[in-house]
Every structure is written in C-alpha cells, then in structure tokens.
Chain A
Amino acid sequence: MRLPPFTFLEPATLAEATKMLADQGPAATTVAGGTDLYPNLKRRQSSPKTLVSLRRVDGLRGIRANGSGTTIGATTTLGEVAAAEVLPGAIRDAAGFVSSPQIRNVGTIGGNLCVDTRCDYINQNEEWRRAVDFCLKDRGEICWVAPRSSHCWAVSSTDIAPVAIALEAEIRLASVGGERVIPAEALYRDDGIEWLTRAPDEILTEIVVPGGNGMRATYRKVRRRGTIDFPILGVAVAVDVDGGGECTSARIVLGAIASAPVRASEAEEFLAGKRLSDEVIEETARLAGKAARPQDNTDLNSRYRKRMVPVEVGRALRSLA
C-alpha cells in the first residue's frame, strides 16, 4: 500500500509551523512520528493535501522537570517517555505498552494523545470499505457497528490519555492566535469522528504532569498479544493517600471503551475517604464496571471487554494498596 500524494513541509520553529497550518487551512494536517497517520493514509481514511511535520521543530522534544512537576514536549518519543526516570511509573508504563520498539522509537507522546479513534469497520483498506459501503466516519451514512445510530462509535485507542487524565495532567495547545492550556480530560469528546477538541489550526505542544505528593498511580492494558496491539481496554487509576492510609481522592479512567476516555465517577466517589481494604476494592471495581458500555467494534468481544473492567480495576487498586 502506498501513501496518497501530499506536500511535506518541515518547519524549524513553532511560529513557522502554526503559520503554515493557518495558511494551508483544513486541507493540511500535522504529523510527528506518523506511526498512526501513515497507516490511516495508506488505507485512504483521509487524504490531506499537505502534511506539516513537527519532527524538526525546535524545542518541542524533551522532558524537563521543575518544582511543580514535569513537562514533556509533544514530539518526545514514546521510547524516551518509557525510559525517563523522572516521570511517574504509570505514564512510563503506558508509553512502554504502546505497540513495538520500532514504533516507540518514532511515535510521540503528542501523537499518542491525539491518536485516531479505531473501529473494525474503518481500519480496513478502501476496497473493503467500498464493498460493504462506506461508514459514518468516512463518506458514508451508516454506522456498521450500530446501524440505527447517528453517532460514530469508533474507539479511543490512546494509552497515554487515561493516565494523563488520572494524573491530572494539562495539555498546551498553540496556534497563530496564541496559546491555551487545558486539563487533559478536556482534549477529548465522545465522538468517533470529532474525537478531539483541538482546533484544526492548533498544535499540541506539551503535556504538563504535576508532581503529586502522596499520589499513587498505575496503568493496566488489555489486548490479545503482549506487543504491537492497540488497547481493547485501558485502566488508569490514581489515588491520593494521606498519612493515615486513607484515600482522600481517586481518579479511575477507562480507555478503549468509548470514543473518549471514560471517568468511572461513581467508583471514584465511593472510594474517596476510605481505606483500600479488600471489600472497598471489590465494590469500587464493581461500580467502575457500570461505567463501561463497549461496542463490538474492536478485537475480542464487547462482553469480554465489559467483564474485564472490574477485574482490571480491582487488580489496579490492589497494586496500589
């Protein structure tokens, strides 16, 4: 499979990059590692006229620790994130679980945060999609997962986002109009077609991970093989524990279960103010399971993925107890 024709621009500074993106309009898209975009282009899921590469943009790559936390440049590779001892273990694990060593040498943390939603009916070549008829996410008028739906159910497949949300990280976005900083959770929308709140002319420049004294966090990933595969369920849990061993607050975030990462709010509220006893863990996990309504549109089946939610949330909480 070949890439569709495009013009490849390689700006050297962020100012140049945002200007190129604004000048080119919606026919342009940004690319960093390209490990998500290029397969999608080969399958003709989209055909942008221009790619603005962020790889040579000065200052976007690298990890800087400061007093209140750590800043990760958007084009820092997943391999670099996985190896960075200054970062919380949960985000290093999530980066290290992404695909294969080759992909982690090239794929970036910004790219993983923005990774396209996935579905058995969209991640197919163009001939296949034409044969069954194109779906909502690509030219068509029907969702093959839920034919009566007017909503696209493609699955949020980022490993980094659930952890970023659980750690209360922030995302910095830049455009010719200026910069804005948003909570990681506000980057996402539960819509398989418009899954990001990032405007087309905005560039995700960095992720800021707070220090978090007394915070414990973990990430667990379910997939068929121990490598290469995207998540079919991701569970990120962060708990703030006080001196007496009580959870003062908790964030439980489910990935790959909807078109955006899902907060298990009921489970979070139940856990707040309690100790991580066996009974509390079991009830928290059960409540988290209620938040998940996966569709049959990725590997394995939706019943299995739903049943695995309390299992994996329970395992995550036990590892933090």
Chain B
Amino acid sequence: MTARLLTLEVNGTTHHIAARDHATLLEVLREDLGLTGTKHGCELGECGACTVLVDGAPWLSCLTVAREAEGRRVTTIEGLAKGPEPHPLQVAFADLGAAQCGYCTPGVLMSASSLLETDPVPTTQQIKEALAGNLCRCTGYIKIIEAVHLAAERAGAASGPGTGGAS
C-alpha cells in the first residue's frame, strides 16, 4: 500500500502530504502535521475527544479517512483562537475551571464553537444536545455548560432575557 498525495486545508493553510489511503484524519493531523491538540480517545467514535470541524460541522477525525477531507475546510483546536486572542469559549472555560484533566476539552470546545456559530445564545438543552457526543470522565458537565453560557453572554451583547444562566 503506497502513499499518495493528499491536499488538506487545515486552519486556513493548505498542506500537501504523502499519505496512505487508510490514514485517518486524526493520524494525519497529529503525526504528519504535528497538530497534537486533537486527542486520541476511544478511536471508535464513542467519546468525541478527536472532534474537529469540517466545513464548520463537528466530525470525528478518528472515523474520517483523511482523503474524505480533501476539498473541505478542516478546523482544529489550534485554529480556534484568532491569532493571540483566545476564542471566547477558551477564556470562559479557563475562567470557570471547566476543565479538570483537560483531555476532552479540545473536542468539547470544537463542538461548542460550532453550536455558537448556529445558535449564538443557546439554551441549556441546546448545549446538552450539542455536546451529547463529547464524554468528560472527570468534571461532570455542569461547569462545561456554565462556561458555554458565559461565552455566549460575553460574545453576544444582544443576548435576550431568560436565555442565559446555567441550570
């Protein structure tokens, strides 16, 4: 099985890589591009640790053959910040201590950032549904949900009454 040319757009940069057909997007990101922010978890699609955005939607990079991401925009946790400015979600997670061991955090942030793109002021139920594919095995989910609310409140000055506030 020989390697073939693979062209991937990751965090706005185009990369040309020699990859074997059965390489997953997770393997290419971590091992060829050195983007180790995306985590190996179960590698079977059950935990969400490897979540990245493909054309803005959360996908599991462990279950994506890298070749399937050709011609699409891939965003990883390294591409979430705007230069030196962390994403509002990253600030809120740090402020509220919404990470304990932190292993699930990159995946959680990618799912949450996609949610805020479509629903800038989500309800608690919407947050729970958007994060239903991201397992956290140490903090529980309360602080994570509170941090998503906080980021939404800070980012959206136009947030209406009754939509913020974790429960």
Interface residues in chain A, defined as those with a beta carbon under 8 Å from any beta carbon in chain B: 1-8, 10, 34-35, 38-39, 42-43, 51, 53, 55, 99-103, 105-106, 226-228
Contact = CB atoms under 8 A, between A and B. Distances in A.
Contact of B111 (A1, A10, A42, A102): A102
Contact of A5 (B22, B44, B130): B22
Given A226-B132, A228-B46, A39 B111 contact: no
Contact of B45 (A7, A103, A227): A103
Interface in B25-67: 27, 43-46, 48, 51, 57-60, 63-65, 67
Contacts of A42: 43-44
Contacts of B59: 102, 105-106
Nearest to B40: A1
A2 B44 CA distance: 10
Contacts of B130: 101
Contacts of A34: 63-65, 68
Contacts of B27: 2
Given A3-B24, A100-B133, A101-B129, A10 B45 contact: no
Nearest to B51: A102
A68 B149 CA distance: 45
Interface centre among A3, A43, A102 (most CB of B within 10 A): A102
Nearest to A79: B57
B22 A99 contact: no
B9 interface: no
Interface centre among B21, B67, B130 (most CB of A within 10 A): B21
Q: Is the interface of A mostly helix, strand, loop or mixed?
A: loop
Given A34-B63, A100-B48, A102-B48, A6 B22 contact: yes
Interface in B65-116: 65, 67-68, 111
Interface residues of B, number: 29
Interface centre among A4, A53, A99, A100 (most CB of B within 10 A): A100
A227 B132 contact: yes
Given A8-B22, A53-B68, 9 more contacts: A2-B27, A3-B22, A3-B24, A8-B65, A35-B60, A35-B63, A38-B65, A101-B58, A101-B130
Contacts of A39: 44-45, 63
B1 interface: yes
B58 A102 contact: yes
Contacts of A99: 45, 133
B22 A228 contact: no
Nearest to A105: B57
A106 B60 contact: yes
B20 interface: yes
25 contacts: A3-B24, A3-B65, A4-B22, A5-B20, A5-B22, A6-B21, A7-B1, A7-B21, A8-B22, A34-B65, A35-B45, A39-B63, A42-B43, A42-B44, A43-B44, A100-B48, A101-B58, A101-B111, A102-B111, A102-B133, A103-B60, A105-B57, A226-B132, A227-B132, A228-B132
A143 to B, nearest CB: 24
A99 B22 CA distance: 24
Contact of B60 (A3, A51, A102, A227): A102
The 8 nearest A-B residue pairs measured at CB: A100-B133, A227-B132, A8-B21, A5-B1, A3-B22, A39-B44, A102-B133, A105-B57
Nearest to A225: B132
A267 B75 CA distance: 51
B26 to A, nearest CB: 10
A102 B27 CA distance: 18
A10 B51 CA distance: 24
A99 B48 CA distance: 11
A280 to B, nearest CB: 35
